[in-house]
C-alpha cells in the first residue's frame, strides 16, 4: 500500500502531458491509430522504466532514507520547474499535430524525455520500476484515449492552460510525501 499513492501521483504527473497531446489531436478531430498509441506507450514506458532503474541503482549506493530524500528533492525541483514553466506560457500552442508513425515516434521520444527526469527521482525515492512501467504503459494508453475524447468535447478550456502547473504541483506533493511513506 505504501507504493500505491506515490506511484499514482508519479504516473498522473508523468501522463498529464500525454492527455494534453491527445486533447490537441481531439480538438482537431483527428484520431490516433492503434499502432501509434502502442508506439507512444511503448517508447515512454521503456524510457520511464530505464530512468526508474537508474534511480534505483543510484539509491543502492546511498543510505535508504538519504536516497528517498534525494529523490523527493529531485521530484520537488522538477515540479517547481514545471510550475514556473506553466506560468510562463501565455497561450496554448496550436501547431500542427503529427499524423505519421515517424512523427508519433518523435512525439513519444519527447514525452519519454519528460518522464526520464521524473523517473530518476521516483527511482531514487524507491518506486518499483516494473510496477511503474506496467502501470505507465496502461495509463499512457488511457491518457491518450481520455485526452482525445476530452479534446473532441472541449475547445481549449482552462485544462490545457493549467495542466503544466497541475502536473508540477503533483510532483511537488509526491516529492514531499514519498520519503516518509
Mean pLDDT score, 65-84:
75
Q: Kindly state the percentage of the chain with pLDDT values over 90.
A: 3
Regarding pTM above 0.75, the answer is no
Q: Does residue 107 surpass a pLDDT of 50?
A: yes
**Separation of alpha carbons 26 and 117, rounded Å:** 28
Q: Which domain holds residue 116?
A: 4-180
CA distance readout (Å), 180 to 57, 96, 162, 171: 20, 43, 28, 15
- Is residue 23 packed enough to be buried (19+ CB in 10 Å), middle (13-18) or exposed (0-12)? buried
Number of domains in the chain: 1
The pLDDT mean for the chain works out to 75
pLDDT at 2: 66
Of 58-67, 133-142, 169-178, give the lowest mean pLDDT range.
58-67
Residue 161 pLDDT more than 70? no
| CA–CA separation, 105 and 37 (whole Å) | 10
Average pLDDT over residues 120-133: 82
Spell out the alpha helix ranges (H) of the chain: 4-27, 34-60, 64-88, 101-124, 129-153, 158-177
pLDDT over 70 (residue 178): no
Amino acid at each position: 500500500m505504501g507504493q500505491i499513492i506515490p506511484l499514482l501521483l508519479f504516473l498522473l504527473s508523468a501522463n498529464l502531458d500525454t492527455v494534453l497531446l491527445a486533447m490537441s489531436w481531439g480538438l482537431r478531430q483527428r484520431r490516433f491509430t492503434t499502432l501509434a498509441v502502442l508506439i507512444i506507450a511503448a517508447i515512454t514506458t521503456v524510457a520511464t522504466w530505464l530512468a526508474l532503474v537508474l534511480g534505483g541503482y543510484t539509491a543502492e549506493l546511498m543510505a535508504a532514507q538519504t536516497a528517498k530524500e534525494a529523490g523527493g528533492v529531485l521530484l520537488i525541483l522538477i515540479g517547481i520547474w514545471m510550475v514556473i514553466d506553466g506560468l510562463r506560457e501565455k497561450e496554448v500552442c496550436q501547431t500542427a499535430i503529427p499524423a505519421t508513425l515517424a512523427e508519433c515516434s518523435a512525439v513519444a521520444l519527447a514525452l519519454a524525455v519528460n518522464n526520464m527526469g521524473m523517473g530518476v527521482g521516483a527511482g531514487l525515492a524507491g518506486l518499483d520500476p516494473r510496477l511503474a512501467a506496467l502501470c505507465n504503459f496502461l495509463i499512457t494508453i488511457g491518457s491518450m484515449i481520455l485526452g482525445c475524447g476530452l479534446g473532441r468535447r472541449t475547445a481549449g478550456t482552462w485544462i490545457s492552460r493549467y495542466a503544466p502547473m497541475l502536473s508540477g504541483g503533483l510532483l511537488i506533493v509526491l516529492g514531499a510525501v514519498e520519503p516518509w511513506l
